[in-house]
Amino acid sequence: MAATIIEVAKLAGVSPATVSRAFGKPDLLSERTRGAVLAAAERLGYTPNRAAKGLVTGKTGNIGILLPDIVNPFYPPVVKGATDRAAAADLSVFLATTELDPRRELTVAREMAKQVDGLVLCATELRDDEVAELAAQCAVVLVNGEKPQLPSVVVDTGPGMLEAVEHLAELGHSRFDYLSGPATSWSNERRMSFLRRQADRLGLRVEVRGPFSPSYDAGTVAADEVLASGASAVIAFDDQMALGVLSRLHELGIDVPGQVSVIGCDDVLPVGMARPALTTVKAPCARLGRAAVEVLLGGATEVRQQSYQGNLVIRDSTGPAVRRRPRGHAAPRPA
């Protein structure tokens, strides 16, 4: 049976209230008294109740993480990084998904804000005023998003996207398609901006297709559009979509990279095991989670953005450009 505060008080020769102060407001006690309480607690294996401690300190010892979609493989490494850092700080983590529904996100976030010391909002779709409302209740940090007057932690895939376009240019591709992710995605806007800038600089033509959901199924649908466009290369918003493209092209007998080169983004799936292994822009997702919790531990009082750079990982799904079949010549999708 766990030791009680009364047993600790008796062994230390103090009152239960003094034991409570030793853990909640140690500055009110002398070093000698607090030392006696801590020694007694260690001897008895006593751990103060988190809820009771919260009543004294005003802290819950909890943080909340809101994700758009737990099935999206981008987020599990983010969550692991966050929970590992939270555990090291003796914090508990509440986790919830929003299913890309801003109304659900706001409802869950409002409830969670009442029970946590800080919120990590991943790829939030909330309005500026709604996020400000939450920030008035607890510390808030954004992952892969930006809002006025709030700290954020982001993956800067820009350099990796520049490398991807340069890689295609070096392989002799004169044009490529970009499969856009969700229209409201902060990451998607950034990726398109860098791709267009680099394509213009290198004299390549880029056509944007979509938007598509970040999913394998969306990639299989988008593959037919790529074939119909006549592009010799495609860059997908994420690896899930890119793997869908690979699968559909294989189904149609289209050689990758012999006829079409494919590039993904994130490198959080076992894409090296795909056939062919997928060239992709690597995102340091676990570092995002750890950094977000670090910001909360620091109070999230400074308005700042921490950026972690992504880089291109070249594998087997990209190769020299070859002459493609005429535009519009794509096999029909099975009914």
Note the pLDDT tens digit of each residue in 72-125: 888 999 999 999 999 988 889 999 999 889 999 999 999 999 999 999 999 998
Range of 58-62, 63-67, 149-153, 282-286 with top mean pLDDT: 63-67
Identify the weakest region by mean pLDDT among 1-10, 167-176, 275-284. 1-10
Q: Name the pTM for this structure.
A: 0.75
Average pLDDT over residues 302-329: 78
Whether residue 330 is predicted with pLDDT greater than 50 in this model: the reply is no
Q: Strand 279-282 and strand 311-313: pairing?
A: antiparallel
Q: Which domains does the chain have, with CATH numbers?
A: 5-57 (1.10.260.40), 62-155+286-308 (3.40.50.2300), 156-283 (3.40.50.2300)
Whether residue 54 is predicted with pLDDT greater than 60 in this model: the reply is no
Contact (Cβ atoms closer than 8 angstroms) between residue 124 and residue 145 = yes
Average pLDDT over residues 139-166: 92
Instruction: Quote the pLDDT of residue 197.
Output: 95
The whole-chain average pLDDT of the chain stands at 88
Whether residue 301 is predicted with pLDDT greater than 70 in this model: the reply is no
How do residues 155-212 score in pLDDT, each as one tens digit? 888 899 999 999 999 999 999 999 999 988 888 999 999 999 999 999 999 999 999 9
